[in-house]
Structure 1
Amino acid sequence: MDKKLDVIELFDEEGNAVKFNVVEFLDIKNPETKETNEYVIVYEDGFDEDDVIALKVDIDEDGEDLLVPIDDEEELALVQEAYDSVVID
């Protein structure tokens, strides 16, 4: 994914375009699987930066970037910890 992006446009369940401001891109290596995944931290345009959302960058069947919500609590905690270390430092 292009890490120079400041804004990402996604679509909600009704197909409406929603703009998200990019806060940070993170490459995180899972200590258990040793797999590195890419994540993007965003917040919806018009909302406060304190209301961030973490999305995982995945690849669809056409080889295009796909942003997906993180359903796994352990994975989300790993992303939160990495984000906190970047924001605090």
Structure 2
Amino acid sequence: MADERDFELIEEEEEEVVTFVDEDGNEIDFDVIAVLDYKDLWYIYLSPVKPTEGFEEGDLFICRIDEDENGEELYVPVEDEALLSDLMEEFDKLVESEEDEDAASDEAE
């Protein structure tokens, strides 16, 4: 059974930043790396803009995109290890397909 997937890698020139506030009131900026529809739920892949406690360079922070009672976007961190693993596999496939498209486009030029 094939899952229908929709996704988008955010290009560097389209870079978006999401700001979270930690428990101490500090603002932490994250670059939006990708947005992915997986099993009818949307997930956002984030990477810290600058080195941040708890994140190493290249780490991704994955959240489910939800809505609060007012219809405002809400990011819920994914904590389930099996789901995180599945989401990382989907992200890797996305990156590979983008790289394949870029390589094919370069060869066509």
**TM-score bucket (shorter structure):** 0.7 to 0.9
Asked if 1:21 is matched to 2:36, the reply is no
**SS of equivalent residue, structure 1 residue 61:** coil
Structure having the larger proportion of residues in strand: 1
Alignment length (residue pairs): 80
CA–CA distance in 1 between the matches of 2:22 and 2:71? 22
Q: Work out which of the residue numbers 46, 49, 57 in structure 1 matches 2:50.
A: 46
User: Which structure shows the higher helix fraction?
Assistant: 2
- Percent identity, aligned pairs only, is 32
TM-score, reference length from structure 1: 0.78
SS at match of 1:74: helix
Q: Equivalent residues in 2 for 1:47-62 (5 A)?
A: 47=51, 48=57, 50-62=58-70
How do 1:1-89 residues align onto structure 2 when only pairs under 5 Å count? 6-29=16-39, 36-47=40-51, 48=57, 50-89=58-97
Length-normalised TM-score, structure 2 = 0.65
Q: Which runs of 4+ in 1 moved over 3 A?
A: none
RMSD: 1.8
User: For 1:11-50, what per-residue CA distance to the aligned partner results, in whole angstroms no more than 9, with x for missing partners?
Assistant: 1111221110111111111xxxxxx1111111111143x2
Q: Distance in 2 between matches of 1:81 and 1:67?
A: 20
Gaps of 5+ in 2: 1-9, 52-56, 98-109
Q: For the pair shown, which has the larger CA radius of gyration, 1 or 2?
A: 2
SS in 1 for 2:47: strand
